[in-house]
Amino acid sequence: MAKGFEDTTLYVYNRLVSLNEVGGNPDKFGLSVEEFHEFNRRRRERWPHSMNTTTTHDIKRGEDARARINVLSELPDEWESSIRTWSVFNRSKKTKLKGQEAPDRNDEYFLYQTLIGSYPLNEDQDVNFTERLRAYLVKAVREAKVHTEWLKPDIAYEEAFASFAEAILTQSESNRFIAEFVPLVKKIAYCGMFNSLSQTLVKLLAPGVPDFYQGTELWDLSFVDPDNRRPVDFNKRGQLLRDLKCLESQDRSALMRDLLSRWEDGRIKLYLVYKLLNFRRSHPELFSQGDYLPIEVTGEMSERVCAFARCRGEAWALAVVPRLIAKATFFETDPSSTDFWRSTALRLTRDAPARWLNIITGEHLNALLIGQKKVLPLQSVFKEFPVAVLYHGGSPEEASRIGETFDATSVGDFL
């Protein structure tokens, strides 16, 4: 299975490479909210202590790289137009081998998706990116076994592919590809940021036990092994966490604005992980034994939201995440703007609480009573942060202390 499918077919079938993951199925192109809720119900009933993992030592690409690439599924027309243009721009950089162009069109398409998922937004973030990319491309085409393979390597094809990648990424006034690619990948990465935060929150609050692979507290744009097994700078992560806790204690609203304005540095993901791991730690029974309830979403943007609740006794945790926001982000308004959500709201069940505390931002929210229905407008839910966890239960004093009393001396303790 591993050699025939995961390490061969999934390097050849490149419709959307974010689906080509270990344990995945590239024929399953997307998941409805109803299917998502049904999956979580079954897991809650049958396997409540299974691991929720988004990255392991054996992934094909990092979890946040996949989140970026997923954005392409929402922009098929824009993506097709870009691919057609780039193939014209870059054709002169290919090599002729045995009467054929190298790389071939399928490998070229694989490369463009790879770059969308992994390209560093700031050059100083990854000075070894091109070197890492070269090694990854050689491994990818050897695994595919179309032009080269481990037992019979075609060094000429591998060099042609790696040199092509280097050439199209060279910064120069004559390189029309890089001039068009960089603005596009920045827009896609911004949309991918929302996907990543949603993915992280769901992993932490859905039935199961959340698992964090080494280093994924910040953005994980790694390639397949050995790239995803590079040494992790835990000292950096520990210092970032201490800085975040200090800023949080001074002015949490200002911290929210700073995290959003500088989302590229990954601290926004680290902060989310920190807050929600501490929240889970404070309420173990809510997540190990709590019920799972889908939450209805109404209004103009209802298709772009997923919400569910975990509840046990008087304690409730309400998870709310955006989804499928790329099209709107490209052509309308920013999801971090309250105007984006317009009339969209959560329609709570009759027995749901009316008063809530936002675990991430510290805001207090009250549901509106419209007729016999309790509703929470998303303009309020997403006012300061792209995803939300709302809590009700226990005393107000206990709620206000959530996530603030755990003093981690290292990232190891934090996790």
Does any domain span residue 90? yes
Q: Are residues 176 and 252 in the same domain?
A: no
Task: With beta carbons less than 8 A apart as the criterion, state whether 196 and 269 touch.
Answer: yes
Q: Is residue 222 part of a domain?
A: no
Dump strand ranges (E) for 129-205: none
Alpha-carbon distance of 128 to 114, in angstroms, equals: 16
Residues 182 and 253 in one domain: no
From first to last of its 415 residues, the chain has per-residue pLDDT tens of 788 898 999 999 999 999 999 888 898 888 899 999 999 999 999 999 999 999 999 999 999 999 999 999 999 999 999 999 999 999 999 999 999 999 999 999 999 999 999 999 876 667 899 999 999 999 999 999 999 999 999 999 999 999 999 999 999 999 999 999 999 999 999 999 999 999 999 999 999 999 999 999 999 999 999 999 999 999 999 999 999 999 999 999 999 999 999 999 999 999 999 999 999 999 999 999 999 999 999 999 999 999 999 999 999 999 999 999 998 887 767 888 878 998 999 999 889 999 999 999 999 999 998 887 899 999 999 999 999 999 998 555 554 554 443 333 333 333 3
pLDDT of residue 125: 63
**Are both 243 and 105 inside the same structural domain?**
no
Within-domain flag for 205: no
Same domain (yes/no): 289, 397: yes
Are residues 121 and 253 located together in one domain of the fold?
A: no
Q: What is the DSSP track for 14-41?
A: -SSGGG--TT--TT-----HHHHHHHHH
Q: Are residues 309 and 162 in the same domain?
A: no
Contact 99, 90 (CB under 8 A): no
Structure token pair of residue 296: 């209805």
The reply to whether 183 and 254 lie within a common domain is no
Domain of residue 119: give its range: 2-187
Do 43 and 136 lie in one domain? The reply is: yes
Name the domain count of the chain: 2
**Residue that is last in its domain, among 148, 168, 187:** 187
Whether residues 24 and 164 share a domain: the answer is: yes
- Where in 232-363 does DSSP place strands (E)? 291-294, 296-298, 305-312, 315-322, 345-348, 355-358
Which residue carries 């409730």 as its tokens?
Answer: 316
User: What is residue 318's DSSP assignment?
Assistant: E
Whether residues 183 and 298 share a domain: the answer is no
395 found inside a domain: yes
Q: Where are the alpha helices (DSSP H) in 91-154?
A: 105-118, 129-144
Question: Is 153 part of a structural domain of the chain?
Answer: yes
In whole angstroms, what is the distance from residue 340 CA to residue 378 CA? 9
The answer to the question of residue 313 being in a domain is yes
Count Cα atoms within 13 angstroms, Cβ side, for 386: 28
Rounded distance between C-alpha atoms, residue 298 and residue 304, angstroms: 10
Examine residue 217 and state whether it is found in any structural domain, yes or no: no
Residue 73: inside a domain, yes or no?
Answer: yes
CA–CA separation, 112 and 221 (whole Å): 15
Last residue of a domain, one of 172, 187, 202: 187
The tokens describing 258, both together, are: 């700073």
